Amino acid sequence: MGYYVNPPNEEKEVFLHREGLEVPKADWDKIPKDSIPVVLINNGAFTAAGIGYDKDEYVAFTDKEDGRPKKIFIVKKLKLKEIGCDNPRTKEEQRSINQDIRMGQMLEEAKNSVKHEFCKITIQ
């Protein structure tokens, strides 16, 4: 996942309540073409407002297995563009970013493993 609403001059919740229509759920195929779903996710310490820029992204943000509280807003694309949300990543771009993140995590795990093995060897 990778594209979020972060208005520069106000809280994302204020923006969504003013510019969006809160709905209990949204059928992707029935969302007006000039609008897009934004899912406000409560992460406890902070909230995130993920843009469901395609069906797969929307499904990922609204996954029922994810127990975090969520609210869905239908927002005009033009309103998102006005606050700088006019360039959501393509699936290919996001896959590449996700792959880079996974590679970075694997490298970090490998470094930590080597440090751990070095400590074991040094201590013994």
Summarised one tens digit per residue, pLDDT across range 66-89 is: 999 999 999 999 999 888 875 555
Pairing of strands 47-51, 70-76: unpaired
Please check the confidence at residue 55 and state whether its pLDDT lies above 70: yes
> pLDDT digit string (tens) for 106-120?
777 777 766 555 554
* pTM beyond cutoff 0.75: no
CA 78 to chain centre: 20
Structure tokens at 116: 């751990």
What is the C-alpha separation between 17 and 26, in angstroms, rounded? 16
- The dihedral built from the CA positions of residue 86, 88, 93 and 99, taken in this order, carries a sign that is positive
**What is the band of 59 on the pLDDT scale with cuts at 50, 70, 90?**
very high
- The dihedral built from the CA positions of residue 101, 106, 109 and 114, taken in this order, carries a sign that is negative
18 burial (CB, 10 Å; 0-12 / 13-18 / 19+) is exposed
Evaluate whether 71 touches 40 at the Cβ level (below 8 Å).
Answer: yes
